[in-house]
Amino acid sequence: MSVAEIEFRLADIGEGLTEADVVEWLVPVGERVEEHQPVVTVETDKALVELPAPATGVITWHAVEAGTSAAVGDVLFKIEAEGVTHTTHTTPPTPAAEQATPAPPRGRVLAAPATRKLAYELGIDLTTVQGSGPHGRITKHDVRAAQEPASGAPGGGGATEPVRPRAPRGEDRTTVLSGVKRSMARAMTRAWRVPHVSEFREVDAARLLAVQKTLRADAERAGVRLAFAPIFAMVTVAALREHPIMNAVYDEGTETVTERGSVDLGIAAATPDGLVVPVVRAAEQLTLLELAREIDALAEAARTRRLTREQTGPGSFTLTNTGAYGGWLGVPIVRAPEVGIAGFGRTRESAVVVDGEIVARPLLPLSVSADHRVVEGAELSAFISTLERLIAEPSRLLLGAV
């Protein structure tokens, strides 16, 4: 039987992926694997992904340790494959005894997630711990050793004045952004370069609340949970159809604007791992209940890190429901290359004047931001006015869209 050693390199497994974090090795060195058997779990900016063995054979080398990152094109592992007719010429890893152990880059801590968790539980600052593992990697033993009190301190000779005990200082905690949070940080940096124009309204939502209450009972009978997000999505889609300049993308390189024929609506979702924006494709083709099902499915996929590339690719407009988290009014940031984003806050009772009398009405905070290179102030005002009208008078739109 022919045997060859194959290098497995990290490929671009996501939209524009440049690097990934190695979370866990599923197969140790020296163990036999079958073709397509998962070997390693990596974390991209959108999901946890298990990478499979390219052939049946024995894992001979882990090139990257768990808890560290690898760039696209880097070797992740080597496998001595059976039944492979070609041979990949690679330089075998230098034995550990012959390797110099370089110090980790300044400011970077090499430690596995389990080691970091132990350090956090024990209150140990990893930046003060000397790692004994390969390349200065900190092990659990290093963390426990750092917790042991120093002994042999010299004693004082004479009497000293009593010192009032002071409460210990709080410990700083430094973490390296990874996965979703790192992707979000980079996206927000790019977005901040966009010249924004924003406008705000408070909309009377009394009729919207009444319609939602009526439709919620119908939806429950159909087995669908009807929250406010799909209603906001339906209203936003209708407004975008009236104002196509808001449903567009801007290409900085060619300085061109493309008004999209369909509404690919991004729904900002907070997850334990960070903010992600799954996309409802062709949202204008969906009924209200279909929107509710799709948004719930995307939210669940986001929470469980199972979003696909199609579900996280570029959209044409984004919606953020800050009211779901108790937020009142904020300034949403445009998600380039999109040119617009709408934010819906938390409805609250407020005193307003109606027909010359002061009455209490539920007011919904509404904010819209746009890329001012593409959208003029008048166009933004027209769009948010349409949103305001559809929210204040939702019956015709929503009752016919179930």
As annotated, the active-site residues are: 372
* Preceding omega of 337 cis (within 30 degrees of 0): yes
The dihedral formed by the CA atoms of 395, 396, 400 and 401, expressed in degrees to the nearest 10: -80
**Which residues have C-beta within 8 Å of that of residue 370, sequence separation ≥ 6?**
196, 197, 198, 246, 334, 339, 340, 341, 379, 380, 383
Token look-up 């083709």 returns 285
Question: What is the 8-class DSSP label of residue 10?
Answer: -
**Which residues have C-beta within 8 Å of that of residue 151, sequence separation ≥ 6?**
none
- Tokens encoding 133: 């593992």
DSSP bridge pairs for 204 = 363
Q: ∠ CA(392), CA(397), CA(399), 5° rounding?
A: 105
Q: Centre a 10 Å sphere on the Cβ of residue 98 and count the other Cβ atoms it contains.
A: 6
d(CA 241, CA 245): 9
